[in-house]
């Protein structure tokens, strides 16, 4: 129960902290995504690495992608209703452990809001990709 309350609190803070989600620059996001490539793939024929492929991530329920073994914390987040919308992704990319405590992602986060917005714009290009 504490876990679900914590997720709801973090998401609420993230949503209330940013009044509107700005449009990002996908080209700049591609450069920032280089920090993510060691663990994640996007695009045609993307496969799992240390982390799952990120095709179709926007709007997806957390922790349910077939073929990837998520942490129990990420599965619980998805079961609790967490969906990867822009605000949730931005909060997660800022401090992954604040959004999903005890999750597998060891990445420390992207501190610059512009980097997060640009990476999300880049990921949007891979909606409906296989």
Write the DSSP symbol of residue 125: T
Residue 74's pLDDT band, with cuts at 50, 70 and 90, is very high
Residue 130's pLDDT band, with cuts at 50, 70 and 90, is low
Residue 2's pLDDT band, with cuts at 50, 70 and 90, is low
Write down the pTM of the prediction.
Answer: 0.81
95-108 pLDDT, tens per residue? 999 999 999 999 99
- Among 18, 9, 23, 1, CA closest to 117: 23
12-26 pLDDT, tens per residue? 444 444 434 568 999
- Among 36, 40, 64, 35, CA closest to 52: 40
Q: Under a CB-based contact definition with an 8 Å cutoff, are residues 117 and 90 in contact?
A: yes
Taking only Cα atoms into account, the Rg of the chain, rounded to an integer number of angstroms, comes to 14
Where are the chain's structural domains? Answer: 2-124
Residue 7's pLDDT band, with cuts at 50, 70 and 90, is low
14-18: long-range contacts (C-beta < 8 A, 24 or more apart)?
Answer: 14/87, 14/88, 14/90, 14/91, 14/94, 14/99, 15/87, 18/87, 18/90, 18/113
Tell me: pLDDT of 55 over 90: yes
| pLDDT for the residue numbered 128 | 86
Return the CATH number of 2-124, one of 1.10.760.10, 3.40.228.10, 3.40.50.2300, 3.40.720.10. Answer: 1.10.760.10
| pLDDT for the residue numbered 19 | 39
């Amino acid at each position: 129960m504490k876990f679900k309350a914590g997720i709801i609190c973090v998401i609420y803070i993230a949503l209330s902290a940013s009044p509107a989600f700005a449009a990002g620059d996908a080209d700049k996001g591609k450069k920032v995504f280089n920090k993510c490539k060691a663990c994640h793939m996007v695009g045609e024929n993307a496969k799992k690495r240390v982390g799952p492929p990120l095709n179709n991530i926007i709007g997806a329920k957390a922790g349910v992608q077939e073929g990837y073994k998520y942490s129990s914390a990420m599965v619980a987040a998805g079961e609790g209703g967490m969906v990867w919308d822009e605000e949730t992704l931005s909060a997660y990319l800022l401090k992954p452990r604040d959004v999903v405590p005890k999750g597998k992602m060891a990445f420390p986060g992207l501190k610059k809001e512009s980097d997060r917005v640009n990476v999300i714009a880049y990921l949007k290009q891979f909606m409906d990709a296989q």
